[in-house]
Amino acid sequence: QIQFYTKCLAKLKSDGISWATLTDTDEYILPNPHEESLLAVSSNMTVFQILTNPDNRRKSKMIQSGCVSMHRLQFGHKESDQNIVQKMVPQGFNGTDFSTIRWRYHAAYADKSANKLAKCMVNLNRARDTDFMSENVNPHRPIKRICSISNMRIEHSDSPFVAYHYSGSWEQWNYRNDFRPKRQRESFDLLNFEDEKHQDDSVRPWLQGFVDDVGIAMASYLLQGAGKVD
């Protein structure tokens, strides 16, 4: 895995890509919805547009440094009322098909045991050839020379972006037949967060925005099979 990360980052740099991140397919990046003063954000801005916005480059020391830490927030598998799940979901779509809409309960922001280490976005323009060696790369510090150890433990309130991490249903969790202890049923059951204070719908508008951008027909085509386990 580390060898893949290393070669991937080197290839992205050689292709002229500036910003990159090593997130999993069940992690989703968004501006921190609870700390709006950390970034200048307007509707429909992409993460890349936010990163390269001149106001944000001046405002954020992390963007200036080339390593932007993202507090990772773990979402569990407690179900919500279907009427809540379907809120703001465009006609023709089922909210339960989308992890970011179906799963609303999460760990406490300060729960480091559940949320684990932060993820980072790195500016590859700052990278040197020697940075792309396996001992210098890991998903929490993509380039160790740029990303310090302190980047891995950023507090939610200091994080300009966040990475929402979804466990999904048991069928989705268990789909890969991964026999490591952390993928067993006992570990999955620990993710049943139930505190009513820890619910989040910040990412919910994405689906309507996507439909508005590409049209209902294209959105339906691109999203067919979402959430299904074969």
pLDDT in tens, 193-224: 888 889 999 999 999 999 999 999 999 999 99
In this prediction the pTM is 0.89
In this prediction, residue 119 carries a pLDDT of 94
Encoding tokens for residue 46? 């992409």
Q: Which of 36-40, 94-98, 168-172, 193-197 has the highest mean pLDDT?
A: 94-98
- Going by DSSP bridges, is the β-strand pair 67-75/161-166 parallel, antiparallel, or unpaired? parallel
Cβ-based neighbour number of residue 96 at 10 Å: 17
Q: Out of 51-60, 103-112, 171-180, pick the least confident.
A: 171-180
Mean per-residue pLDDT for 84-99? Answer: 96
Mean per-residue pLDDT for 84-95? Answer: 96
Mean per-residue pLDDT for 104-109? Answer: 95
Looking at the predicted structure, is the pLDDT value of residue 44 above 90? no
Looking at the predicted structure, is the pLDDT value of residue 227 above 80? yes
Mean per-residue pLDDT for 161-180? Answer: 82
Looking at the predicted structure, is the pLDDT value of residue 180 above 70? no
Looking at the predicted structure, is the pLDDT value of residue 182 above 70? no
Alpha helices in 42-98 (DSSP H): 47-52, 54-59, 61-65, 82-85
Q: Identify each DSSP E strand in the chain by its residue range.
A: 19-21, 27-31, 67-75, 119-123, 161-166
In this prediction, residue 39 carries a pLDDT of 87
On average, the pLDDT of the chain sits at 90
Looking at the predicted structure, is the pLDDT value of residue 136 above 90? no
Mean per-residue pLDDT for 97-103? Answer: 96
